[in-house]
Amino acid sequence: MQKIKLILGSASPRRRELLSHLGIPFEIRPSNINEDSDIKDPFTHSLEIAFRKNVALLDDKTLKNEIILTADTIVAIDGKILGKPKDLLEAKEMLSLLSGRTHTVATAIVVSYFKNGWKHWKHVEMTHVTFAKISEETLERYLKTGESMDKAGAYGIQGSSLSFITKVEGCYATVVGFPLGVFLNFMEQHLSQEFCWEKPWRSYFTSI
């Protein structure tokens, strides 16, 4: 049985936590790329960044028994992409823009694997999130938590922002940063057939 190593190309603790729910070993190998892009469409924007992260790892003498997984999450509203705020002032501006409205969260995942040459599987999951009108007091309180500073759109759905989120249409994990169910389905339905894995397919993965 050929052992396979799963590589998560992200330093995000949220993606690490979500992926750990699958019960398979994986190695964290962040790809430090420039994530700037002029693309305004959330689907294309997130996919481009996720693919660039993936390719950066493939260039690093990737072994053929590795599966490379990368992802990128963006928040979009009014044709504008909201990335990670550079300071609290920008975080406040972002949250004020989202207040009382519905926005889109897009998370792209790219999986690369070697099977008679390198193959790439790409997917973008999109979820719509609605905020209640955020009062000034609630906004200031949230900013003081520090949760805004490393998250697209200046909020993390798994934290204190739940107090002003009124509706989530779509996959909750997509907003956290990784559509876990989509990836699990890909592993069970596509990769299992591609590599002719026998059950249990998780036994093919190793941390060595």
What is the Cα–Cα distance from 89 to 87, expressed in whole angstroms? 5
User: Which secondary-structure segment (H or E) carries 192?
Assistant: helix 192-194
pLDDT tens figures, 172-203: 999 999 999 999 999 999 999 999 998 899 99
Report the CATH number at residue 180.
3.90.950.10
pLDDT tens figures, 114-161: 988 889 999 999 999 999 999 999 999 999 999 999 899 999 998 899
Is 72 labeled as catalytic in the residue annotation? yes
Number of H helices, E strands in the chain: 7, 7
pTM of the predicted protein model: 0.91
Q: How many CB atoms lie within 10 A of CB 150?
A: 13
Q: In Å, what is the CA distance from 156 to each residue of 53, 77, 170, 176?
A: 22, 16, 16, 7
Least reliable range by pLDDT among 2-16, 22-36, 58-72, 94-108: 58-72
User: Which secondary-structure segment (H or E) carries 76?
Assistant: strand 66-77
pLDDT tens figures, 30-85: 988 888 888 889 999 999 999 999 999 986 566 788 999 999 999 999 999 998 89
Domain count, the chain: 1
User: Which secondary-structure segment (H or E) carries 182?
Assistant: helix 180-185
Catalytic member of 38, 41, 59, 72: 72
Q: Which of 35, 40, 110 is nearest to 75 (CA)?
A: 40
Q: Which domain holds residue 139?
A: 5-204
| Radius of gyration in angstroms for the set of CA atoms belonging to the chain, rounded to a whole number | 18
